[in-house]
Structure 1
Amino acid sequence: MTPPHRLPAPDGLQLRLLGTPLVVMPGSPAPQRRALTAQEAVLLAWLVLKGPVQRPRMASLLWPEADAPTAANNLRQRLHGLRRFPALVLAGPQAGWLCLPEAVAHDLADPRDGLREDPAAVGVDLLGSFDYGKTPQLATWVTAERDRWRQTVVDGLLQWAVHAEHAGDAANAARWAARALELSPTSAAATRVLMRVHHQQGEREAALAAFERCGEALRAVGGAPDADTLALARLVGRSRPVQAQETPQLLPLALRHPPRTVGRAALQRTAMAAWNIAGCVLLTGPPGIGKSRVLDDLTRATSAALSLRPGQDEQAVPYGVLTSLVSSLMQRCAPTLAARHERLCAFIAAASPSALPGGVHAHGDGDAHARFLGGRGGQHPADAGHR
């Protein structure tokens, strides 16, 4: 027989089948919550999870020891009891079928959205503490559905834990993984996430403790950690424990200053054009907007370039920036500068004798600097910092 079409969903009515089974109905000033019996709850759970069912089939599941007429009469009485929820019509348009109204609201939908905000927001106790041991076939179904729902929640927690781990969010990754292990202590996948997060945070002992807890849970049911979990435990075990007094390692420079500039192509083209035409570029602006980075890119784009970043002390000394530039040039191009050394020092000494290094004597003509830097044989960008 073809299952009937479902009736429209009642507005505002909700089924709560996790924890103590309830029906929540709209009301004023607050919604009304009414408890369900064990048989009412399992009937509604079947309709939510499996869909429409024929009346004789449900009657035989609920009362397996009764004959067909008695079971059918008992079912009519249970359905009559559900009339206290006027909007919850279980009878379909075709006789002999039971079904929920179409798209009725319930708490057994995909749990991932709820878990994203709070790992403990979604319950796992399907049908609460109701015991269906006296109806073996129904008890088997309930047990399987309880296990399936719990695993669905664990899988959702693992999905968010892995996502957070890949995003570098160690705190939330550990939070979701820990909740997954609370619900499924033998979960190797959740254990590995927690171990990796602890290991990456330098918490070697916590990572190994997570492995030991999982191993104990598995041994209690006759199992053992899988190869991937064992390999991760060996890796963590071989790593050097992080001492409390150790200074955390800084990120590599390439990570703190990524080799890519976004949204500055036009500025870089303008700066390069000015450099090629006039041999001079002046970048101005408030601190932190990326002037130094643009200058770095300009330096890399030119040949035989020398980048200079004087400190605050050098900026405070007359001709300090120039002195640093000359010193850097002397170190990098000593053979080329040897013949001009004395004339450059003489020029600087004439302007500010205190700027010369100790032991250096100045003599020669005063226009050496102008003649030396006046040529286009090299580029010398200087970043004077933020003042």
Structure 2
Amino acid sequence: MQVLGLAQLWGPEGQGVRLERRAAALLAWLGLQGPSSKYALASLLWPDSPPTTARNNMRQLLRRLRLASGGEALVEGDTERLALVAPSNVDVACLKSTTEARAYAQALESVGAEGGTLLDGFDFDDCPELARWLDGARAGVEGWVREAREARIEHLTSGGDWSAALGLAQAWARQEPESEQAGRHLIRLLYLQGDRGAALAAFEQLRGVLERELGVTPLPETLALVREVEKGMQRPHPTASPRPALPLSVLRPPVLVGREAAWRQLEAGWEAGQMLFISGAPGSGKTRLAEEFANAKGRWGRVEGREGDSDVPFASQARAFRTQLARWPDVKLPDWVRTELSRILPELGETRLLPPLDSETGMLRFYDAGAVALYLLHEHDAICIADDVQYWDAASAKSFFFALPRMFEATSRGAQPLRFIDCYRRGELPAQTRAHVARLLDAGLARVVELEALTGEGVKHMVAAMGLPGAEAHADNLTRYTGGNPLYVVETLKHLLETDSLLRDWPQRLPPPDRVGPLIQLRLERLSALALQCARLAALAGAFFRTSLVPRVLQVTAAAAHEALVELESAQILLGERFSHDLVMEAVRAGMLPGEERALHGRLATALEEDAAPAILLAHHWIEAGRVERGLPHLLASAHSDEQVLPPEQAADHYARAAALMVATGQWEDAVRARAAEARCRLQASAAGPHVQPTWSARAPAGRTR
């Protein structure tokens, strides 16, 4: 029973029935007030009717309510009182009870992301007492929603899940644009995610609303927060939230240092209208430099590759599209684009209705849909940062590089330019992606900026900006120990903080200076056994890790799983559902014994089977668990499915892998059939493939600078 927003009844199959005004008011009253006098309710709903008429109207209303619910009784009672049969089935009652119990996540689920006005669209001017009650009840609902949002945002922020917190803050600010409370959260979270320009823009919008609608100026608390953002010298922290075990300035040092030469190269590439690549060793600060540069140029968005993407065709592109669809939900993709993209985003359409991609025309249509979606989903951005490109799967990379020349051509014709900054680890690009980048460089369309280690002065500046008592005295030793790698500096400082060594002499012994892994291992050794198991599960699940997997895979209670995940966030091992850095994930995996990995892969495969996860993912985990016989059917199912909806080379690769496993296990006849299927798919790919390769012009298009 929904009385927040549009009043409706929802059936078991998802069918909705609109509620009439008085029926909705009755359910709202009983949901908030509990069992009540039938006569008093009748008088509220029909104040101008004689008592006998009001009682008769109430009987008719209850009868219509039962008919609307398909014969199910929603309200029960006797001659004196009425009550809800199931109060927990009324959204406003759920909101009230969960807020009182401080179960704020459940409270927000009961009202939806955007909240909802009680009995929205209804007025009761003909029922004065009911109208007065409704005014107070609406104010109460708004207060509960505000309390739940505030608490939930602070919890997510203190735990490092800034993306989820930002989504709540954005919804709150949309619904209450004049709320400084919502505005401060929005400004703070945009800055925490590295988008200083968007944070300042959010403040300007808030200031304009306050002046225009209320005739007031922002509160001193809001102005103080904005001054912090403008300076960029100290990361703002959530008010009244628990202080994490490690300072946030260690997670993201507040200033960018030692990158003046790299910045000049980026500026030169920007002015030349080139695509920008930032390459460097792990931990050299590629993402941070890209974010700071993008901040200086305009509105930007970020997509990312994750380890494990290479096992699932189009995993990186699908994540990128979902990220942008969540950022810009009002963007309308053409129907034909949605239909084609449903091959990799099933939520956009019905893949069973799609023809196989076994023709040149079909292949071009699919890749063109990706190009159109790329442009439309980024049309509000000036820059797109693609992080960890070395992890992008080959199918996603091919689709992106197919779309890129079309975007260059559109820009040269006067379309809104979209600039790209791609970050990757030096020496780790897959061969196919490396070849695409080389062609861009040869055509003068791209520039690679290589990041080197920080100098001694750069390390001193970085440490000083963190504001950690005693840290500056160790700057020279930090430079020698870490070789000037920014991440190594941060991890070493974390170790010194956790061992209470910052105010002492430099330690006599530390792990080898050229690798950050041993330092991270020391942090992992301080974790509880369950937290360490959670980290290992996250490392093996990779891009497909979800916190909901923890209780089932590790066979613990939800409360124990939550406590372990909070411990990982406090130790800055995990941020939400991903690792704080890829090197942390690598250190976690390096500390696992082969037997532990196989057992955990098997448990993960079992849980993912219950979730009907993609077949290729199930195949991967069963095979890694040493259960080839369990993984092969999923691998073949994935190949068959890909053959129906994806470019044929994806299915060919899976058939080839299945054939190799069949040969290794003595399944000769099955291997022959798999090889035949592989050959069929490769023949189809060779017929269509040459026509969907990217082609580059000899020079960068004019007019691409901003």
Normalised TM-score (structure 1): 0.55
Q: 1:293 to 1:139 in 2, by over 3 A?
A: closer
Alignment pair present for 1:17 and 2:9: no
Q: 1:208-245: per-residue Cα shift (whole Å, max 9, x none)?
A: 22222223333313444222112222333445898993
Alignment pair present for 1:88 and 2:73: yes
Ranges in structure 2 where 5+ consecutive residues have no aligned partner: 99-103, 234-254, 265-288, 293-461, 463-485, 499-510, 523-706
Alignment pair present for 1:71 and 2:54: yes
| Conserved? CA contact 1:215–1:224, under 8 Å | yes
| Conserved? CA contact 1:47–1:99, under 8 Å | yes
- Partner of 2:9, secondary structure, is strand
Tell me which residue corresponds to 2:81: 97
Instruction: Give the deviation of 1:99 after TM superposition.
Output: 1.1
Tell me which residue corresponds to 1:344: none
| Conserved? CA contact 2:2–2:91, under 8 Å | yes
Question: 2-side partners of 1:63 and 1:204: how far apart?
Answer: 56
Q: Which residue among 123, 135, 146 is the counterpart of 1:131? A: 123
Instruction: Give the deviation of 1:102 after TM superposition.
Output: 4.6
Question: 1-side partners of 2:177 and 2:196: how far apart?
Answer: 20
Alignment pair present for 1:258 and 2:494: yes
Q: 1:92 to 1:223 in 2, by over 3 A?
A: farther
- Partner of 1:72, secondary structure, is helix
Tell me which residue corresponds to 2:136: 144
Question: 2-side partners of 1:186 and 1:233: how far apart?
Answer: 17
- Partner of 2:17, secondary structure, is strand
Instruction: Give the deviation of 1:47 after TM superposition.
Output: 0.4
- Partner of 2:61, secondary structure, is helix
Q: 1:227 to 1:288 in 2, by over 3 A?
A: closer
Question: 2-side partners of 1:130 and 1:22: how far apart?
Answer: 13
Instruction: Give the deviation of 1:130 after TM superposition.
Output: 2.2
Alignment pair present for 1:166 and 2:158: yes
Tell me which residue corresponds to 1:310: none
Question: 2-side partners of 1:115 and 1:131: how far apart?
Answer: 25
**Higher relative contact order, structure no. (Cα contacts within 8 Å, ≥ 6 residues apart):** 2
- Residue identity over aligned pairs, in percent, reads 31
| Conserved? CA contact 1:198–1:206, under 8 Å | yes
Q: 1:23 to 1:199 in 2, by over 3 A?
A: closer
Q: 1:6-64: per-residue Cα shift (whole Å, max 9, x none)?
A: xxxxxxxxx122333223344xxx36543321111101110011111112211221122
Instruction: Give the deviation of 1:200 after TM superposition.
Output: 3.9
Question: 2-side partners of 1:55 and 1:117: how far apart?
Answer: 31
| Conserved? CA contact 1:115–1:157, under 8 Å | no
Whichever residue aligns with residue 163 of structure 1, its letter is: H
Structure having the higher helix fraction is 2
Q: 1:71-114: per-residue Cα shift (whole Å, max 9, x none)?
A: 23322322232332433253425x31111125441222137435
Q: 1:88 to 1:292 in 2, by over 3 A?
A: closer
Tell me which residue corresponds to 1:107: 91
Q: Which residue among 212, 236, 259 is the counterpart of 2:229? A: 236
Instruction: Give the deviation of 1:206 after TM superposition.
Output: 2.4
- Partner of 1:99, secondary structure, is strand
Q: 1:61 to 1:222 in 2, by over 3 A?
A: farther
Normalised TM-score (structure 2): 0.32
Larger Rg, first or second structure (1 or 2): 1
Residue pairs, 1:289-368, within 5 angstroms = 290=518
Tell me which residue corresponds to 1:274: none
Q: 1:131-173: per-residue Cα shift (whole Å, max 9, x none)?
A: 3232222223223323432343333233232223223333333
Residue pairs, 1:33-44, within 5 angstroms = 33-44=16-27
- Partner of 2:84, secondary structure, is coil
Question: 1-side partners of 2:81 and 2:40: how far apart?
Answer: 10
Q: 1:199 to 1:31 in 2, by over 3 A?
A: closer
| Conserved? CA contact 2:4–2:116, under 8 Å | yes
| Conserved? CA contact 1:158–1:176, under 8 Å | no
Tell me which residue corresponds to 2:34: 51
Q: 1:56 to 1:221 in 2, by over 3 A?
A: farther
Q: 1:226 to 1:80 in 2, by over 3 A?
A: same
Paired positions, count: 256
Question: 1-side partners of 2:24 and 2:174: how far apart?
Answer: 26
Question: 2-side partners of 1:106 and 1:58: how far apart?
Answer: 18
Instruction: Give the deviation of 1:252 after TM superposition.
Output: 7.3
Tell me which residue corresponds to 1:183: 175
Whichever residue aligns with residue 38 of structure 1, its letter is: R
Q: 1:258 to 1:205 in 2, by over 3 A?
A: closer
- Partner of 2:10, secondary structure, is strand
| Conserved? CA contact 1:52–1:98, under 8 Å | yes
| Conserved? CA contact 2:491–2:520, under 8 Å | no
- Partner of 1:34, secondary structure, is strand
- Partner of 1:16, secondary structure, is coil
Tell me which residue corresponds to 2:246: none
Question: 1-side partners of 2:221 and 2:519: how far apart?
Answer: 48
Q: 1:132 to 1:117 in 2, by over 3 A?
A: closer
Instruction: Give the deviation of 1:184 after TM superposition.
Output: 1.5
Question: 1-side partners of 2:8 and 2:489: how far apart?
Answer: 58
Whichever residue aligns with residue 122 of structure 2, its letter is: F
| Conserved? CA contact 1:41–1:127, under 8 Å | yes
Q: CA RMSD in A?
A: 4.0
